[in-house]
Structure 1
Amino acid sequence: MKKFLSILACTFCFASTEQILLEAQKLENEGNFKEAMLLYKKAATINNNKEEKYLNEINKTSQEKGKETNLKRAFFERHIDNVDDNETEKNLEQLVTKDFGIYPYKKNYILPTTYTFNNIEDRHNLETSFQISIEKPLAENFLGLDETVSIGYTQKSFWQTTKHSSPFRETNYEPEIFIQMPVKDNDHFKLLKASFMHSSNGKKDELSRSLNRVYLEGYFQLANLFVVPRVWYRIPESSKDDDNPHFTRYYGYGDLNFLYAYKQHTFELLLRNNLRFDKTNKGAAEFNWTFPLPEFMASKNSYGLFQIFHGYGQSLIDYDRELTNVGIGVAFSR
């Protein structure tokens, strides 16, 4: 293989040394062997240098095979001319690579097929849903606690793709600002998070749903099992402005999330309950399983997703409606 690459490298560099070799041959025919040998040596040196460079590139490519490739960064490095000013250079790099420090926040996914087992007026049982969730850190360690202050945005949409004209029946919007503080020197308690979050569905009149909450969340690790309890407080609104006054009757005051990682699989169970242990008890459970995709569909950071939901509050419009829904699709972050 190495011999083949050497021959290939010499073939590539032949065009650049052809003129030198022709001149050397001419000198040799004229009997000027000393000058001819100098030119032959020069041509050989050029070939060897180019061959070595080519082989180094082959080895580098081989070593980096399988590593993540940032196509936009590669384009910037290979095709954008450098400028003398360092600040301008960094500006150009951001403009080309679009790297502004935005990260996935909650799960990003699309479920092309979901099915609701409840018959609801003016709604098809079969639809598509997807979620987009991003985070942008704003500040770090200004309190000296290794904390991070970030803004987050999550959008979950329900798309009636089987209905005429395929309308979006609802989209839930959740912007928030939060602070995360790592917990040091603790075997199991890893992180504490406090957040202010707004939730709404962007609709008007009787279909409008919106509320503001503050919540506190903890992250506990037991080997490859994570337990994430969360408690929230809904910020009160005046009765004339409150478009879902019985929210806590159905959502309660918190939830509990379990995440178990096994090889390339993750299993998540979200539990929510209003903790009223009588006939007014309401709650919900959501199970998510992410798994490796078949090889012909596989791509980096993409996984199959199977989701089951039962209970109240799959979306804001259904905060007081019990339903059962199942879906399958692809997750682009976990």
Structure 2
Amino acid sequence: MPHFNKLLIVMMLFVSKTFAQQTFHNPIIKKTISQQWELDSIDRKGTFRLVSYRPIYFAAARWSTKKNEAPFNESGEFATDDTNIFDNIEAKFQISFKTKVVEGLFFGKGDLWVAYTQKAHWQVYNKKLSRAFRELNYEPEIIFNFPMHVDLWGGKIRNFGFILNHQSNGKDIPTSRSWNRIIFNIGYEYKNWNVNFRPWYRMPDEEDENPGITQFIGDAELEVGANFGKHEFYTIMSHSFSTLKKGNIQLNYVFPIRGHLRGHAQVFHGYGETLIDYNVRQTTLGIGISFANW
């Protein structure tokens, strides 16, 4: 199993680097929303091209102030008595890609995309646990996207869309976690700033493996990104409309190292960094390398 884990991470890094080379020829210039989603005619490149979607990165070390010692669910049915077997320090990586499958829907304006994101937390330094993966989150999506040109506050609303989103960790009871959402997205551009607001509706689930997840993780997400020369910053925040005390914030700083190689520093605070930790409040610090960003 340890040899398989090593082979898997090498394959993930190779694929991530390939996406980065194909879609980010100049790591200094941040992509516009039109370039990200091929909104304008000059940016359209056709269908079935595999390109990066969300940030692709590998954090060699990620430290947590409060590890999830015994994953549990307040429903009782999915409770577990797992003992404290995890380390506070682990590796973390994310791969993400998308492809356009239909172009010019609804009066020739809208596009249909499919996307996949996978986030992994790897106890690579934990010999007692055979360096196993603590948590894997799988997130396939179907995305309907429409271009817009609406002037607002000196910038422009550039796109509107909605997403059919499924997220799960692929585990069995008692540590199985999953939910389905309809996510709406509005993209706004101002100078070198990109802003995306994504409220969502959680679809009903009779076998709710994570009750109250929206109270912890939130009902909407705000992503704000900007580049300053060779340095890039982006923040992802989620918030619950039902309570002011929950939600989370993730701060990211991407900086040049050499050539196309870029460093990545990440700070997370709040609930739900992973699905298994949806009701665990923690602060985490991660450092690694970045292959592709928003």
- TM-score norm. by structure 1 comes to 0.66
Identity of aligned pairs, percent? 32
Describe how 1:297-308 pairs up with structure 2 within 5 A.
Answer: 298-299=259-260, 302-308=261-267
Aligned match for 2:144, one of 166, 179, 187: 179
The residue number in structure 2 matching 1:134 is: 97
Which structure has more relative contact order (CA 8 Å, sep 6+)? It is: 2
Change (3 A) 1:273 1:198: same
Which of residues 269, 273, 287 in structure 2 aligns to 1:314?
273
Cα distance in 2 for partners of 1:222, 1:106 equals 20
Greater helix proportion:
1
Residues 41-80 of structure 1 mapped to structure 2, 5 A cutoff = none
Partner of 1:14: none
Confirm or deny: 8 A CA contact 2:105 2:112 kept in the other structure.
no
User: How far apart are the structure 1 equivalents of 2:169 and 2:273?
Assistant: 12
Query: In structure 1, what is the Cα distance between the partners aligned to 2:48 and 2:188?
Result: 30
- The match for 1:193 is 161
Residue identity opposite 1:153 in structure 2: Y
Amino acid of the residue matched to residue 310 of structure 1?
A: H
Contact 2:48/2:100 (CA < 8 Å) preserved in 1? no
Aligned partners of 1:69 and 1:304: how far apart in 2? 16
Which of 237, 240, 245 lines up with 1:271 in the alignment? 237
Correspondence for 1:143 among 85, 99, 106: 106
Q: Which residue, 99, 115, 118 being the options, matches 1:155?
A: 118
Matching residue of 2:247? 283
| 2:216 aligned counterpart, secondary structure | helix
Q: Specify whether residues 266 and 207 from structure 1 end up closer, same or farther in structure 2 by C-alpha distance, changes over 3 A only.
A: same
Q: How far does residue 275 in structure 1 lie from its aligned partner after superposition?
A: 3.0
Q: Deviations over 1:98-150 (max 9, x none)?
A: x9510101011100111112243321011101001010110000322422101
User: Is 1:105 aligned to residue 64 of structure 2?
Assistant: no
Cα distance in 1, alignment partners of residues 85 and 148 from structure 2: 49
Tell me the alpha carbon deviations over residues 196-241 of structure 1, each in whole angstroms, 9 at most, x when there is no partner: 0000000111200011100101111111112211100000011xx1
Does the 8 Å CA contact 2:149/2:156 hold for their aligned counterparts? no
CA contact (8 A) 2:58 2:92 kept: yes
Aligned length: 230
Give the aligned residue type for 2:222.
L
Match in the other structure for 1:329: 288
SS in 1 for 2:198: strand
Question: How far, CA to CA, are the matches of 2:201 and 2:104 in structure 1?
Answer: 26
Q: Check whether the contact 1:189–1:220 (CA below 8 A) recurs between aligned residues.
A: yes
* Counterparts of 2:250 and 2:21, CA distance in 1: 35
* TM-score, with length taken from structure 2: 0.74
How far apart, CA to CA, are the structure 2 residues paired with 1:284 and 1:220? 22
Aligned to 1:203: 171
Amino acid of the residue matched to residue 214 of structure 1?
I
Structure 1 runs not aligned, ≥5 long: 1-67, 71-98
What is the Cα deviation at residue 185 of structure 1? 5.2
Please say if residues 137 and 150 of structure 1, whose CA atoms lie closer than 8 Å, have aligned partners that are also in contact. yes
Q: Alignment partner of 1:249: what SS?
A: helix
Question: Which structure 2 residue ranges, 5 or more long, are not aligned?
Answer: 1-19, 23-46, 70-83
